[in-house]
Structure 1
Amino acid sequence: MRKLPPEFYRRSDPTRIARDLLGKHVFSLLDGQLTGGRIIETEAYSHHGDNSLTMHLKRLSSASQALREPGGQAYLYKVYQRHTLFNICTNEADKTDTVLIRAIEPLVGLDVMQERRGNSIKPNRLTAGPGMLTQALGLTPEFTGTDLQSDLLWIADQGETIPEARIIAGPRIGLDYAGPAAAGLPWNFQLHHL
């Protein structure tokens, strides 16, 4: 299991990074409890020509300072005062690109994830959305700025190659507020199950 190197995150195209993260494995190690899974859905956000990110930076200006750091750090923030979203800073310093991890296939520490999410949650719903996966992995906004080379939170390459034919690209989710141009960008990437 090899952690993705900083150079992986510091490339200039967030859509390429979002695609390349499919099939990689994300892990958290909190209080001695290892949890993780295979990334199956991502979304890209760009500092160039993406109104949704521009609006986000205005709305969360203090919290978004982490986005100005070099790629390879975690950026977590709350939406609706309830759900934490896990983003990865990409590109060079001061280029505020990011990739949102939207869903993972849970593989490691299932009992811990179930406990964090609640016993009434069905196993197939443990990590089926961005707020669900952060809860299952134990991630909160306090982890913003965590280097993904750390032993607390990281992404690993397990050697899986995802053919382009298995990737579904579509519009990002929940961005109507940003206008049709931003909402319609086909920057949501999902693994198609054959």
Structure 2
Amino acid sequence: MLRPHALQPHPPRSFFRRDPVWVARKLLGHRLVSGVGGTRTAGIIVETEAYLGIADKAAHTYGGRRSRRNRTMWGAAGHAYVYFVYGMHHCINVVAGETGDPVAVLIRALEPDAGIDTMFERRRRARRATDLCSGPAKLCQALGIDLRLDGEDLTSSDLLCVESSSRRPPPTTIVATPRVGIAYAEEWQNEPLRFFVAGNLHVSHGRG
């Protein structure tokens, strides 16, 4: 179970300006908050994946690729990298590392804790709270996240931000497994770069 802590302000940019594996683990227990539509929706981050940039065959910036789509990854840490996939879904990443080192952390699942009625309105196919944010596309739909929020500053924005740890999982409850849905990444598909809180019912149904 996640332990309650007093609410904290947004983490500073220096929190995100680190190795993406460190950021992916430390984001667990932080809160992702959306103000889209004038309604606060939020959830505790319970699952992440680290993407290691130029060397990582699963990363959008593998081999130094630059495009209009991935340009946010090349910028400053602490910004949202939102992209559209399969012609229907949005996913949100947190840019990590130093500017010019295009690494990021995908937020894969949240435990909803604010604006749950609004989340159900946005995700009409969901039948229970554990279906609302148990996957990267689901959580974006529930929080109203789309391409308009690409590049948003997660350390200060009123539309989309990360709040500092209010419920931190004990290190012994953090599980590391291979990332989900990256069979194309050859040897990188088996790297243990997916992190989640053991036993949390809101984690996605991925490998491991």
**Fold-level match, TM-score > 0.5?**
yes
Deviation at 1:83, TM superposition (A): 1.0
Q: Secondary structure at the match of 1:151?
A: coil
Deviation at 1:30, TM superposition (A): 1.5
Change (3 A) 1:49 1:39: same
Structure 2 match to 1:31: 37
Q: Answer yes or no: is 1:178 the counterpart of 2:166.
A: no
In the alignment, the residues of structure 2 paired with residue 113 and residue 159 of structure 1 have an alpha-carbon distance, to the nearest angstrom, of 21
Change (3 A) 1:178 1:118: same
Which of 68, 76, 95 is matched with 1:62 structurally? 68
- Provide Cα deviations, 1:157-181, integer angstroms capped at 9, x if missing partner: 24433222100000000110111x2
CA contact (8 A) 1:68 1:93 kept: yes
**Which runs of structure 2 are paired with 1:133-172 in the superposition (5 Å)?**
133-148=139-154, 149-172=156-179
In the alignment, the residues of structure 2 paired with residue 22 and residue 9 of structure 1 have an alpha-carbon distance, to the nearest angstrom, of 13
Quick one: which amino acid aligns to residue 155 of structure 1? V
Q: Secondary structure at the match of 1:173?
A: coil
Structure 1 match to 2:50: 44
RMSD, aligned CA: 1.7
What are structure 2's unaligned runs of at least 5 residues?
A: 1-6, 201-208
Q: Answer yes or no: is 1:118 the counterpart of 2:124.
A: yes
Q: Secondary structure at the match of 1:31?
A: helix
Deviation at 1:119, TM superposition (A): 5.5
Change (3 A) 1:31 1:168: same
CA contact (8 A) 1:25 1:157 kept: yes
Structure 2 match to 1:9: 16
In the alignment, the residues of structure 2 paired with residue 112 and residue 169 of structure 1 have an alpha-carbon distance, to the nearest angstrom, of 32
**Which runs of structure 2 are paired with 1:70-149 in the superposition (5 Å)?**
70-118=76-124, 120-148=126-154, 149=156
CA contact (8 A) 1:52 1:175 kept: yes
Deviation at 1:31, TM superposition (A): 2.3
CA contact (8 A) 1:26 1:38 kept: yes
What are structure 1's unaligned runs of at least 5 residues?
A: none
For these two proteins, the number of residue pairs brought into alignment is 191
In the alignment, the residues of structure 2 paired with residue 120 and residue 79 of structure 1 have an alpha-carbon distance, to the nearest angstrom, of 21
In the alignment, the residues of structure 2 paired with residue 159 and residue 140 of structure 1 have an alpha-carbon distance, to the nearest angstrom, of 26
Q: Secondary structure at the match of 1:19?
A: helix
CA contact (8 A) 1:88 1:99 kept: yes
Q: Secondary structure at the match of 2:167?
A: coil
Deviation at 1:55, TM superposition (A): 4.5
* Percent sequence identity over aligned pairs: 37
